Amino acid sequence: MSTETPNQLTLPAAAVDPADPGVLQALDAWRQRLLGAGLACRGVACAGGPPAWTVPFADPLLADTWAGLVARVSADNPVALAKRGEGGAGAELLMASRVAMPDGQSGVVGVVLAPPHDERLVPLVLLSLGGLQLSLSAASLAHNQRAARLLEVMGHVSAQDSARAAAQEWINRTAAWVRAEVPATAGLSLTLFEVRGRVPHWWVAADTAWAETASPAVQEAAEPAAQALAEARGVSQPPWWAEPVLAQGEAVAVLVARHDAGGAALPAEAQQILRTALGLAEPLLRHWRQGDRGLPRHGRDAAVGLWRRITGPGHLVWKAGAAAVLLALVLLLAVPVDDRITAPTVIEGRVRQVVTAPFEGFIAQVLVRPGEVVRAGQVLTRLDDRDLLLDQARQRSERDQAQAKLRQALAERDAPALALATAALRQAESQLALVDTKLARAALLAPMDGLVVTGDWAQQLGSPVETGKEMFEVASANGWRVVLHVADADIARVRPGQQGVLRLAGQPQAAHAFTLNRLSATASVQEGINGFRVEAAWVGAVPPLSPGMQGVGKVTVGQANLLTIWTRSSIDWLRLKLWTWWV
């Protein structure tokens, strides 16, 4: 199983990891010095931290003995000795000593000495280690200088304004660096291929501003690039050398070098520089190149990458996520559910009557308040009748005067006076009858048995009322109806006979069924929403209710998939906005 992180980038290991040229040169110089001192040096070895600084003995039979010596060397025991072969004077002597490696860490160097051995042998070897340590320090200096050169190259690369310009700057400076540091590579040429669709495509080349992809030089360099891409490892076939770069287990770029040196392979030192520079620069160039892509290319690459994760090996989390998304789409699109609209509701009595003020006046007495049960004919409130009583007395006086004038005209047999007196009497009697009627209606009576729904006048005693003002609303207590306020966006889908379910604010735990029976064409605004009045009848047993109870009702208007239900309002809003904005 791969443990590679999403952003990890690796260079595939070469067939044989080459040792660091500086370490090799230092060991070879040490061996020559030992031979020059008259010691029979049969071989040297080094055990450092990185693999490039580990040089085993040429004789594989020494591996176990050498490993034991390396394990024995420490800060407290810097020198370890062992003999190999038959005991006595004919045995070879293995000597291991602790030294400082080019990276500043401790390492172990070893030497195999043939007999004869004397007491001067060990001091001479230890004395020669001074020259070896000096050579390793020089290698450390060269290593630091190489790191500084690499940082300089990356500084020039990051100063460019596009991915291709950065890649061109990197490959030009890297080629010049290798040519200057490794004299044997004076004719070195470099080409960088980017991998798209598992096929290498020419991107940049050293000392070349542009090249035709069908040119012989590009086609020739593409062959080792394709081989390295297919094998996913470095390829060295003089005069060609190719190194792929892997990211998330896939090759993303290939560096191809051509070294015309009479069939000789690219020097190990040059390979090390190219690998190091490529491993540091390629992630920057790749992300830069990805950032330069257009939006369609971004979308296409993301879709291709997602498809590979879903259909390719591994990526179990992506596969599980894709299965979950597919299942969700099936549920959203293929499974029909009840399509319901939601509307605020209020409970009203099936029969309602309004008690209004019969004339202008003032409230004198209030006998009931909303929520009280009343009987037909029960007094609800009384209006102030003092002015009416005065008016009644005045009208009676005028009537009596008219009657006296009428009797006088009859006695005198005065026909004109009789006619005038008769008319005055009739007018006085009608005015008196009107006053009597108002007095009789000064007490507002309940029109039927029921429940007072509205009309809380207890705190408004003495306040004026005008003729026709609604004073009380009385609802019958033997029947109820549900009134829904359906938004105008949903009213087109509502029809009489549709079923619904209601939950009251005071009884949210219980659901009650109802059936729509009447749609009103009158619109009203409630809570900022324009809608229409829709009446419904209860289905089944009616719970204990009171007029004015509120709740939420849901009316089933058909069936649809979940996606349609969830997006209908947004789509309708978008359609209306597009129509509004369309020129």
Asked if residue 531 and residue 463 are part of one domain, the reply reads no
- C-alpha angle 195-153-244 in degrees, rounded to nearest 5: 25
The strand pairing partners of 194, in sequence order, are 201, 253
For residues 405 and 420, give the distance between their C-alpha atoms in angstroms, rounded to a whole number: 9
Give the pLDDT score at 202: 92
Residue 149 lies in a domain: no
- The contacts of residue 294 (CB under 8 Å, 6+ apart) are none
Sign of torsion over alpha carbons 554, 559, 563, 567: negative
Query: What pLDDT does 516 receive?
Result: 92
Strands 79-84 and 361-366: unpaired
Query: Any idea of the CA torsion for 119, 122, 123, 128, to the nearest 10 degrees?
Result: 140
Same domain membership, residue 170 and residue 268:
yes
- Name the token pair of 413: 């047999």
Tell me which of 240, 271, 292 is where a domain ends.
292
How many domains would you assign to the chain?
5
Secondary structure E strands in 371-468: 373-374, 379-383, 443-445, 450-454, 464-465
Examine the domain organization and report whether 50 and 139 are in the same domain.
yes
The torsion angles phi and psi of 408, rounded to 5 degrees, stand at -65, -45
- CA angle at residue 478 from 477 to 482, to 5 degrees? 85
CATH code of the domain in which 454 resides: 2.40.50.100
CA angle in degrees (0–180, nearest 5) for 129-130-133? 80
At residue 142, the pLDDT reads: 66
Residue 341 lies in a domain: no
Please indicate, yes or no, whether residues 515 and 394 belong to a single structural domain of this protein: no
Whether 10 is in a domain gets the answer: no
Which of 407, 442, 472 is at the close of a domain? Answer: 472
Say yes or no: 278 and 173 in one domain. yes
Regarding whether 561 and 443 lie in a shared domain, the answer is: no
Total residue length of the chain? 583
Structure tokens at 213: 């992809």
One domain, residues 276 and 303: no
Which residue bears the tokens 């230092």? 26
| 165 and 273 inside one domain | yes
DSSP H helices, 238-385, are 268-291, 295-311, 316-334
Last residue of a domain, one of 111, 144, 177: 144
Burial of 306 (0-12, 13-18, 19+ CB in 10 A): middle
Whether 240 maps to a domain, the answer reads: yes
Q: Are residues 448 and 564 in the same domain?
A: no
Q: What's residue 191's pLDDT? A: 93
Q: If we measure between CA atoms, which residue out of 314, 301, 311 comes closest to residue 248? A: 314
Domain for residue 254, yes or no? Answer: yes
The CATH number of residue 535's host domain is: 2.40.30.170
1 part of a folded domain: no
Query: Does one domain contain both 228 and 263?
Result: yes
Axis crossing angle, helix 121-158 with helix 163-181, rounded to the nearest 10: 150
CATH number of the domain that residue 136 is part of:
3.30.450
pTM of the model: 0.47
Q: Let me know whether 269 and 168 are in one domain.
A: yes
Same domain for 420 and 329, yes or no, is no
Q: Note if the bond before 239 is cis, omega within 30 degrees.
A: yes
Q: Is residue 11 part of a domain?
A: no
Cβ(156)–Cβ(176) under 8 Å?
no
Residue-level pLDDT at 498:
92
Residue-wise DSSP of 381-397: EEE--HHHHHHHHHHHH
Q: Is residue 121 part of a domain?
A: yes
Residue 430: which domain range? 352-472
Write out the chain's pLDDT in tens, 583 residues: 333 333 333 333 333 356 677 788 888 889 998 888 888 899 999 987 777 778 899 888 888 889 999 999 988 888 999 888 765 667 888 999 998 887 778 889 999 998 888 888 888 888 888 888 887 777 666 667 777 888 888 888 888 888 888 889 999 999 998 888 888 777 889 999 998 878 999 999 998 888 887 888 889 999 999 999 888 888 988 889 999 988 777 788 999 999 887 778 888 888 888 888 888 888 888 888 777 777 888 788 788 888 888 888 888 888 899 899 999 888 888 888 899 999 999 888 777 788 888 888 888 888 888 878 888 888 888 888 787 778 778 888 888 887 887 788 788 777 887 788 788 888 878 888 887 777 777 788 888 887 887 888 888 888 888 888 888 888 776 777 889 999 988 888 999 999 999 999 888 888 999 999 988 888 888 888 889 999 998 888 777 777 778 999 999 999 998 888 888 889 988 988 888 887 5
Cβ neighbours for 473, distance < 8 A, ≥ 6 positions apart: 352, 353, 354, 355, 452, 453, 454, 455
